[in-house]
């Protein structure tokens, strides 16, 4: 089973999974937005603003680094769930090796767990710091469902303004 299929099963009935890319690059299930090299960035910008949760498998691919940089520039950290697979943990492919990825992500203000040495699910607080790190996740439907729920809860609660920062009513009393 591929990762997209697992993600689709994890959110079935609660949300839609969308992927952007060339038709030859997209595998798995969910809604597919077929885009060429000249238009995928526009789709990414539009979808990332509207998405409740953005799932990323980080790599040193230029398009993935661009996406993560854009998310950071627009302070969309708390929408992001990063999935680090066995490919990341093994370091066999330099494009996915944690030692190569960490400095690149840090340049875009992403903070990674210091003990990121195994398969992991990582979510972020609004400033790009790690809010939750589930190591050795096993990538089963239950773990991914919980992480997506965590990211969605963070996104919802980040929209609330703390009571002491709310404007006063005409009477001067806080509400």
How far is it, in rounded angstroms, from Cα 109 to Cα 69? Answer: 8
| Residue 55, strand partner residues | 81
pLDDT in tens, 88-122: 878 788 998 888 999 999 999 999 888 787 778 88
With beta carbons less than 8 A apart as the criterion, state whether 78 and 158 touch: yes
What pTM did the predictor assign? 0.76
Per-residue pLDDT at 60 exceeds 80: yes
142 or 163: which carries more pLDDT confidence?
Answer: 142
How far is it, in rounded angstroms, from Cα 22 to Cα 37? Answer: 8
What local confidence, expressed as pLDDT, does residue 74 receive?
Answer: 95
Question: What is each CA distance from 141 to 1, 54, 131, 144, 149, in whole angstroms?
Answer: 11, 17, 21, 5, 12
């Amino acid at each position: 089973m591929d990762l997209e299929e697992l993600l689709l099963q994890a959110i079935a009935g609660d949300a839609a999974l969308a992927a952007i890319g060339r038709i030859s690059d997209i595998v798995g299930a969910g809604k597919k937005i077929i885009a060429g090299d000249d238009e995928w960035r526009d789709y990414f910008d539009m979808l990332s603003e509207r998405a409740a949760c953005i799932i990323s498998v980080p790599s040193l691919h230029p398009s993935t680094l661009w996406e993560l940089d854009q998310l950071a520039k627009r302070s969309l950290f708390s929408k992001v769930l990063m999935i680090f697979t066995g490919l990341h943990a093994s370091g066999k492919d330099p494009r996915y090796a944690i030692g190569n990825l960490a400095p690149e992500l840090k340049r875009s203000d992403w903070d990674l767990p210091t003990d990121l040495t195994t398969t992991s699910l990582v979510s972020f607080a609004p400033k790009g710091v790690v809010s939750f790190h589930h190591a050795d996740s096993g990538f089963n439907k239950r773990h991914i469902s919980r992480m997506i729920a965590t990211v969605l809860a963070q996104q919802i609660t980040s929209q609330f303004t703390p009571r002491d920062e709310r404007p006063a009513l005409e009477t001067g009393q806080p509400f």
